[in-house]
Homo-oligomer: A and B are copies of this chain.
Amino acid sequence: MRKRYYNVERSARTSGKGKYQILKRLLRHRRSSIFELAADYDGTLIELTRDLEALIGEGAIKERNGVFQLRRESIPEHYKKLIRLEEELNRNFDEVSLVRRFKQITSGRPKPKKEHWQGFMSAESAVRRARFIHERCDDCLSRILLIGDDDLVSVAISLFGQAEEIVVLDIDEELVHYINQIASEHNFWIRAFPYDARSPLPKAFRNYFDAFVTEPPETLRGLRLFLSRGFQSLQGTGSAGYFGLTHIEASLRKWKRIEHFILSSGFVITDLLRDSARYPEKENAWEDLYAKYPIVQRWNAKPPKIDWYRSSLIRIEAVEQIKVRNVSVRSPAELFVDHESWATDNVFYSMNFQK
C-alpha cells in the first residue's frame, strides 16, 4: 500500500535544508504533528515525508502516534552543531533589537564611493534580507558568498549566527578592510577579499557555496555578469541565489530577459518581493551626484526629500545542473549605464553611446 507513493521523480532538495527545517521546528516545539511540521517546511509533502523517513532512519527523530520528536540520545554527530547553535543562540531576534545591533556594529561604515557606483540599503532592509535568508534555512550551517557588499548584509547574516562561512568579494579595498575588521572584532566568520567582478571568479570559490547574495548593476550585461559569477560559485541543485532588481531603472522587458536567463541557467524563481530594500538618502549623502542623473536634468529637479529609491528582492534556487555562460564586460560604463539608468551618473552614457 505505502509503496506506491515512491514511484516519483527524485527530489530537487538535496541540500539538507529540509532536514534542518524539521530539526529546528522540533527544537523549538518539542512535539509536532505532520501538519505542524509541514507549516514550517518549504518543500512538498512528498519531500517532507522523504526527509522525515531519512531522519528516522538516521536515529535523529522518532514518530509515535502521529507525534514527531527529537531523539537526543541517538542523534548523529553531524546534526549536533545545528542543535548547539540553535540552543546557544537563544537570542532576541526581534526586528528592533537586530536593527539596533546592526547599527551599533556598522556605525563606522564607509560613505558610498561614487567611483564604485555605491549606495547602501537601510539597516532595516539589510536585517530583513538576512531574516528572509534565515527563514529559508539558506544560512543553516552553510557557506554564503556576497558579490559586492556595501550593504553589509554579511554582517546582518552573522547576527543570526548560523552560517558556517561567509565570504565577501568587493571591488572597494576600504570596504574589504572594514568588513574584515568588523569580523575580527565581533568574532564573525566573514572573510572579505578585493575582487572586480569583471575578472573570472577565483577557482577556490567555484562550486563551493550554498547561496550567493548580490545587488547587481542594472544593465542587462551587468545583471548577467554578476549573476553568472553567482551561478558559478554555487554547489548545484538546491543552492540558492538572492539579488536585487528595481523597477526604477529596469523595464519589465529587461526583467523578462533576466528571468529567462535565470530559468535557462537551471534555476527557478521562488520569491520576488517588491520594494523589499529602501535606500536612505540622508546616510548615503548623494546630493552632489544628483545633478548628473538624467531624471534630474530632464525635470530640473531638486534632490529628493524622501527615500524614494527601492529595489525588489528575488530568490532563485537551482533545480537542475547549473549552466554558467561566459559574459565579458570591458568598461564600468557597460556595467552601470544604459538608456534606462536614469538615476545613475550618466557621464559615461554620453561618452560611450552618443558618439
B44 and A249: CB pair below 8 A? yes
Chain A, residues 275-315, CB within 8 Å of chain B (1/0): the string is 00000000000000000001101111110111010101000
Tell me whether A36 and B306 are in contact in the complex, defined as CB-CB below 8 angstroms, given that A66-B299, A274-B271 are known contacts: yes
Name the B residues within 8 Å of A350 (CB-CB).
4
B253 and A35: CB pair below 8 A? no
A342 nearest in chain B by CB position? B45
A269 and B270: CB pair below 8 A? no
Asked if A255 is at the interface (CB within 8 A of a chain B CB), the reply is yes
A267 nearest in chain B by CB position? B256
Q: Of residues 324 to 355 in A, which have CB atoms within 8 Å of B's CB atoms? A: 339-340, 342-343, 350, 354
Give the number of copies in the complex.
Answer: 2
A266 nearest in chain B by CB position? B256
Chain A, residues 49-71, CB within 8 Å of chain B (1/0): the string is 10000000000000100100000
Asked if A165 is at the interface (CB within 8 A of a chain B CB), the reply is no
A317 nearest in chain B by CB position? B252
A346 to chain B, nearest CB (A): 10
A298 nearest in chain B by CB position? B49
- How many Å lie between the Cα of A16 and that of B62 in the bound state? 58
Name the B residues within 8 Å of A320 (CB-CB).
253
Interface size on A, as a range, is: 35 or more
Partner of A272, one of B66, B248, B269: B269
A148 to chain B, nearest CB (A): 22
Name the B residues within 8 Å of A12 (CB-CB).
251-253
Partner of A301, one of B33, B47, B248, B301: B33
A302 nearest in chain B by CB position? B66
Partner of A259, one of B49, B252, B269, B304: B269
Asked if A323 is at the interface (CB within 8 A of a chain B CB), the reply is no
B63 and A299: CB pair below 8 A? yes
Name the B residues within 8 Å of A92 (CB-CB).
none
Name the B residues within 8 Å of A5 (CB-CB).
294, 298, 339, 342
- How many Å lie between the Cα of A298 and that of B306 in the bound state? 55
Name the B residues within 8 Å of A310 (CB-CB).
39
A66 nearest in chain B by CB position? B301
Asked if A9 is at the interface (CB within 8 A of a chain B CB), the reply is yes
Tell me whether A259 and B263 are in contact in the complex, defined as CB-CB below 8 angstroms, given that A7-B339, A66-B301, A273-B273 are known contacts: yes
A42 to chain B, nearest CB (A): 6
- How many Å lie between the Cα of A62 and that of B186 in the bound state? 54
Partner of A343, one of B39, B45, B250, B312: B45
- How many Å lie between the Cα of A8 and that of B294 in the bound state? 14
10 pairs of residues in contact across A and B, judged by CB atoms under 8 Å: A4-B350, A9-B251, A11-B251, A45-B342, A45-B343, A46-B342, A256-B268, A263-B263, A269-B269, A271-B272
Closest 5 CB pairs of A and B: A35-B304, A45-B342, A272-B272, A256-B268, A39-B308
Known contacts A44-B250, A252-B270, A259-B268; can you find 16 more A-B pairs with CB under 8 A? A7-B339, A34-B295, A34-B299, A35-B304, A36-B305, A44-B248, A45-B249, A45-B340, A46-B340, A252-B317, A252-B319, A256-B263, A259-B259, A259-B263, A259-B269, A273-B273
